[in-house]
Amino acid sequence: MAALVASAHAAIGAAKTTLTEIAAAGLSAPGPLDHTTGVILVTQNIAGFKDVPIAALVERKLGGPKVFLDRDTVMAAIGEGTVGAAKGARDFVYLTVSTGVGGAIVTGGKMMRGATNTAGELGHFPVGFDRDVRCRCGSFGCVEAYAAGRNLAEAYGVDDATIVYAKAAAGDARAAALIARAELALGNLAVGIVNALNPERIVVGGSVAEHEPGHTLEPMRRAIAERAFKVPATAASVIPSALGADVSIIGAALAARDRASGGGQWFL
C-alpha cells in the first residue's frame, strides 16, 4: 500500500499538480476481484492477498480522490479500446504475453465479465494434456504454463526468458524446443479465441510479445490462417498493442475518469 501511494504522489509531482486537483484514481491489479466494491478476492501469483479491500485502503492512505479498481488486463483492454489498437472495434480480445499470460474480452461493445467476474482469464485456457506442465493456478496444460516468460525461464533453468530466446537463436536445441512448445500453445489459444468468440481484432501486448513478436504474434497468425474456421478467420487480425508497457496505466486513468463522471458503462 505504501508503494502504491508513493507512486501516486510521484505521478502527481511529475504532473506538477496537487492532490486536491485530482478527481479520481485508477488502480489495476491481478484478480479475481470485484471491481464494483474494490476488493481483491484472491490472487494466483501474489501470496497473502485474499479479500483485500485494496481500493478503500489506497484511497484512505492517499487521502484524496476516489479510487476505482479493476483487473490489469481489463484496464489494458479499456486503454486499447478507447485510444489504442482496438479503437472503433466492438468485438476484440486483449491478450498479454509477459511474465504471465492474461486477457480481457469485449463483445458487442461491452466488457465480458462472466458470472463471477473472471471472464477473460485466457492464460488459464487449457491447451495441453501433459500433466507434468503444471500451472501456478493448480491445474495443468494452461497457456500460461507453456508461454509465460517466467515459466519459460524456469523450464530452462534461468532467471529471465530473454536468455531462453537468445539461446534458441544461437542454436540451443533445448531452448528452441521450449519456445516451439510456447508457440504451439499460443497458436492453439488463438484458434480457440477466433472460433469461440469471433473477434475483429486480437490485440497482443506484454513484454514478451513486444520483444519477440516473431515467437508470439506470428505463430498466432499462422495458426488462425491454417486451422481456424474460415469465416471468423477472415475477420480476425492479430495486432500488437499500440500503448506498450503503459497500457494498463493508461486504461486505469481512462477508467477512473469515466467511472468518476458516471460514464464508462460499456466496460462495467
* Structure confidence by residue, pLDDT tens digits, 141-182: 999 999 999 999 999 999 999 999 999 999 999 999 999 999
Q: Is 131 helix (H, G, I), strand (E, B) or coil?
A: coil
pLDDT tens digits for range 203-218: 999 999 999 999 999 9
pLDDT band at 186 (very low <50, low <70, confident <90, very high): very high
**Per-residue model confidence (pLDDT) at position 156:** 96
pLDDT tens digits for range 109-130: 999 999 998 999 999 999 998 8
pLDDT of 223 above 90:
yes
Q: Please report which residue ranges of the chain form alpha helices under DSSP H.
A: 2-14, 54-62, 72-83, 143-147, 149-156, 161-169, 173-197, 207-211, 217-227, 230-235, 247-260
**Per-residue model confidence (pLDDT) at position 30:** 87
Instruction: Compute the distance between CA of residue 124 and CA of residue 111 in angstroms, rounded to an integer.
Output: 19
Instruction: Read off the C-alpha cell for 142.
Output: 494452461
Instruction: Compute the distance between CA of residue 114 and CA of residue 120 in angstroms, rounded to an integer.
Output: 9
DSSP assignments along 40-107, one per residue: EEE-SSSTT-EEE-HHHHHHHHHTSSEEEEEEHHHHHHHHHHHHSTTTT-SSEEEEEESSSEEEEEEE
Is the preceding peptide bond at 30 cis, omega within 30 degrees of 0? no
pLDDT of 54 above 90:
yes
pLDDT of 45 above 80:
no
Model confidence, pTM: 0.94
Nearest to 198 by CA among 79, 97, 112, 267: 112
Nearest to 73 by CA among 262, 247, 227: 247
Taking each helix axis from N to C terminus, what angle separates 2-14 and 54-62, rounded to the nearest 10 degrees?
A: 50
Q: Which amino acid is at 195?
A: N
**Per-residue model confidence (pLDDT) at position 213:** 97
> What mean pLDDT is predicted for residues 40-63?
89
- Per the prediction, the chain carries an average pLDDT of 94
Higher pLDDT, 48 or 160: 160
pLDDT of 55 above 90:
yes
Instruction: Compute the distance between CA of residue 105 and CA of residue 127 in angstroms, rounded to an integer.
Output: 18
Name the β-bridge partners of 25. Answer: 67
Name the β-bridge partners of 92. Answer: 106, 201
pLDDT above 90: percentage of residues in the chain: 85
pLDDT band at 132 (very low <50, low <70, confident <90, very high): confident
Domains of the chain listed by start with CATH number: 2-74+246-260 (3.30.420.40), 89-241 (3.30.420.40)
> What mean pLDDT is predicted for residues 16-39?
92
Q: Which residues of 127-153 are buried (b: 16+ CB within 10 A; e: fewer)?
A: bbeeeebebbeeeebbbbbbbbbbbbb
- Are 26 and 70 within 8 A, CB to CB? yes
